[in-house]
Amino acid sequence: MIFYFLESKYRKRTEHYIQQYTDYELITILGEGSYGVAYLLQHRKTKEQAVLKRLKANQLKPTSKQRFIQEMTLLQELQHLPVPKFIASGFIGDAPYFLMSFVDGYTFEKAIFEQQQTYSINDTISITKDLLYFVQQLHEKNIVHRDLRIPNVLVADDGLHIIDFGLATNIDAYFNLHGVKNPKKAPHPVSDLYAVGHFMLFLLYSIYEPQAKKSTTWQQELQLPVALQHYIERLLTIKTPFQNASEALQALQQLRVYSEH
b/e sequence 87-118, b meaning 16+ C-beta within 10 Å:
eebeebeebbbbbbebbebebbeebbeeeeee
Number of domains into which the chain is organized: 2
Q: Is 13 in the same domain as 41?
A: yes
Q: Which of 101, 121, 145 is the last residue of a domain?
A: 101
Q: Is 72 in the same domain as 115?
A: no
Q: Is 114 in the same domain as 89?
A: no
Q: Is 70 in the same domain as 181?
A: no
Mean pLDDT of 75-79: 90
Residue 2, pLDDT score? 67
Q: Which residues are annotated as a binding site?
A: 53
Q: Is residue 3 part of a domain?
A: no
Q: Is residue 4 part of a domain?
A: no
Nearest to 38 by CA among 129, 124, 164, 146: 164
Per-residue pLDDT at 45 exceeds 80: yes
Q: Is pLDDT larger for residue 202 or for residue 67?
A: 202
Q: Is 112 in the same domain as 136?
A: yes
Mean pLDDT (the chain) is: 91
- φ and ψ at residue 53, rounded to 5 degrees: -110, 125
Rounded to an integer, what distance in angstroms lies between the CA atom of residue 48 and that of residue 134? 26
Per-residue pLDDT at 258 exceeds 60: no
Q: Is 199 in the same domain as 118?
A: yes
Please list, in sequence order, all residues whose beta carbon lies within 8 angstroms of the beta carbon of residue 129, skipping any fewer than 6 positions away: 249, 252, 253
Per-residue pLDDT at 112 exceeds 70: yes
Residue 8, pLDDT score? 86
Give yes or no for a contact between 96 and 68, defined as CB atoms under 8 angstroms apart. yes
Taken in order 182, 188, 193, 198, is the CA torsion positive or negative?
Answer: positive
Q: Is 172 in the same domain as 247?
A: yes
Q: Is 126 in the same domain as 247?
A: yes
Q: Is residue 23 part of a domain?
A: yes
Q: Which of 101, 131, 153 is the last residue of a domain?
A: 101
Largest CA distance in the chain: 60
Q: Is 95 in the same domain as 110?
A: no
Q: What is the 8-class DSSP label of residue 203?
A: H
Q: Using alpha carbons only, how large is the chain's radius of gyration in Å?
A: 20
Q: Is residue 261 part of a domain?
A: no
Residue 1, pLDDT score? 65
Q: Which residues are annotated as a binding site for ATP?
A: 53
Q: Is residue 31 part of a domain?
A: yes
Residue 261, pLDDT score? 44
Boundaries of domain holding 22: 9-101
Of the candidate ranges 4-8, 131-135, 191-195, the one whose mean pLDDT is the lowest = 4-8
Q: Is pLDDT larger for residue 260 or for residue 108?
A: 108
Rounded to an integer, what distance in angstroms lies between the CA atom of residue 153 and that of residue 161? 6
Share of the chain above pLDDT 70, in %: 95
Reduced 3-state DSSP string for 121-134:
HHHHHHHHHHHHHH
CATH at residue 65: 3.30.200.20
| pLDDT tier at 212, thresholds 50, 70, 90 | low
pTM above 0.95, yes or no: no
Alpha-carbon distances of 24 from 12, 42, 133, 157, rounded to whole Å: 16, 5, 34, 24
By residue count, the chain amounts to: 261
Q: Is residue 240 part of a domain?
A: yes
CATH at residue 200: 1.10.510.10
Q: Is 22 in the same domain as 115?
A: no
Distance of CA 192 to the CA centre of its chain: 10
| pLDDT tier at 259, thresholds 50, 70, 90 | very low
Q: Is 147 in the same domain as 214?
A: yes
Q: Is residue 1 part of a domain?
A: no
Q: Which of 57, 83, 101 is the last residue of a domain?
A: 101
Q: Is 246 in the same domain as 221?
A: yes
Q: Is residue 259 part of a domain?
A: no
